[in-house]
Structure 1
Amino acid sequence: SSIFLMPSAYEPCGLGQLIAMRYGTVPVVRETGGLKDTVARYDPDTGDGNGFTFDDYSADLLLDTVKLSRKVYLQDRDAWDRIVVRDMGKDVSWEHSAREYLDLYKALAE
């Protein structure tokens, strides 16, 4: 699959989009909870972002966002490929967080 659709009304964390991104499937998600934390809206003007997002829980915005993702996929494959590479390279491991926790615990112990 090229596109992963996750239009959650509420999503405290969300693993589906992380798995999709790891394997090169671009997420289309509603900006809520963990989805908002892990998927940055693609900006056609700058090329920034790693997925396609919408903020209001409505069928119209969902459809508009799916249409935009389809347009980029069909008409701008270079941009699409950059999104895929960005997604596949995103570090969502505990490495960074674990280091921060360790530093905090060390500081508290001193």
Structure 2
Amino acid sequence: VLVDIIDDLMQMDLQLILLGSGEQRYQELLAGLPAKHTRKIAVKIGFDNALAHKIEAGADMFLMPSKFEPCGLSQMYSLKYGTIPIVRATGGLDDTIQDYDPRTGTGNGIKFSAYSGPTLLEAVKRAIALYCNPQAWRRLMANAMASDFSWQRSATEYYGLYRQLVDTASRQR
């Protein structure tokens, strides 16, 4: 879906860094973009973990418009860096990212549901609008960095669930 909106993104006040690999036709298309959009986009085909962390740590936003994502770690790394993930609501991305609500100040990222260029573009526009509101952006960044995916939190939640099940079973006797 990203390739469907590249030209739209390049018209916006942003810069894009792409790192990764995929289908050959997309790699070839993406590799040619820096020549067409100088100073707007950088593309590195292949994966480099150290570079990925540097990009995530230095970026304001992280696009992860996955069609399918059973878990996903990159969005969790981005959260800890304060880099706001823009993700499609699928699998682990849906589980770990809560869409930011500027009215309540809750949420830790930007989430969209349909796997399509227009919905991704709207999500990017929402993120940029938040970025232009320093108070909302700082709140979103703080929420992102406070996200907790630790074993301690998971164990506490499981304990609470088991406790609830035992209590319910005891009352039904």
TM-score, scaled to structure 2: 0.56
Partner of 1:8: 66
**Aligned with 1:34 (options 92, 98, 123):** 92
Are the equivalent residues in 1 in contact too, given 2:61–2:86 (CA < 8 A)?
Answer: yes
Say yes or no: does 1:90 pair with 2:147.
Answer: yes
Of residues 56, 67, 82, the one that matches 2:114 is: 56
Specify which structure has the bigger relative contact order, considering alpha-carbon pairs within 8 angstroms and separated by 6 or more residues: 1
State the 1:46 CA deviation: 2.4
Q: Normalising to structure 1: TM-score of the pair?
A: 0.86
Larger Rg: 2
Q: Which runs of 5+ in 1 are unaligned?
A: none
Structure 2 portions without partners, runs of 5+: 1-58, 167-173
CA contact under 8 A between 2:65 and 2:87: conserved in structure 1? Answer: yes
Amino acid paired to 2:77: I
* Runs of 4+ off more than 6 Å: none
* Contact residue 106 and residue 143 of structure 2 kept, 8 A: no
Question: Would you say the 8 A contact 2:108–2:147 is kept in 1?
Answer: no
Aligned to 1:77: 134
- Counterpart CA distance in 1 for 2:103 and 2:80 is 25
Letter of the structure 1 residue corresponding to residue 95 of structure 2: D
Which residue identity lines up with residue 68 of structure 2 in the other structure? Answer: Y
The answer for the alignment partner of 2:124 in structure 1 is 66
RMSD over aligned Cα atoms: 1.7
Amino acid at match of 1:4: F
Q: Residues 8-62 of structure 1, C-alpha deviation per residue, up to 9 Å, x if partnerless?
A: 0000011000000001101100000010111011123322211111000000000
